[in-house]
Amino acid sequence: MSEKTQPPATEERRAEWALGVVLFAGILLITVGIFQLIAGIAALAEHRFYAVTASYAFSVDVTAWGWIHIGLGLLLVLTGWGIMTGRLWARIVGVGMAVLSAVANFLFIPYYPVWSVLIIALDVFVIWALCVYGQREAMRLGMRAGPRPR
């Protein structure tokens, strides 16, 4: 019996795979942004919703966290939308926003540890996905990532 072998991955397949990963990253950014909005609204609506643990190095008022999460959530949703529409600026800003989201959630660990670690993991995946995707793949698939033809 002969063993069937698969043809090597072509540039087109890699580009399509990269596009799928970036679209997924955009959807994740929107999802994380919505999660941030919910966390912020919960912090503003009920100040005792989050239980603060004692002796944490970074102590911030829950109301301040609410506004931080709301602002970050809105920016993440807008950036995710930009990524899904193929904007280069959104991929660049998306990496920065995912880093900010991960840092904010690291500082938010004493208030809601499991949630914060989950969001940090999603942010790390988004950073990876946006860094893997290149300009060559974007241009090949018709996304607006490179210089516009004149």
Mean pLDDT by 10 residues, the chain (150 residues): 56 74 88 90 77 63 84 93 87 90 86 87 88 65 52
User: Cα–Cα distance between 34 and 76 in angstroms, integer?
Assistant: 8
Q: Which helix (H) or strand (E) holds 38?
A: helix 11-45
User: Cα–Cα distance between 47 and 128 in angstroms, integer?
Assistant: 35
Q: Which amino acid is at 96?
A: G
Predicted pLDDT at 134: 62
Predicted pLDDT at 37: 94
User: Cα–Cα distance between 63 and 50 in angstroms, integer?
Assistant: 11
Two tokens, residue 145: 């990532």
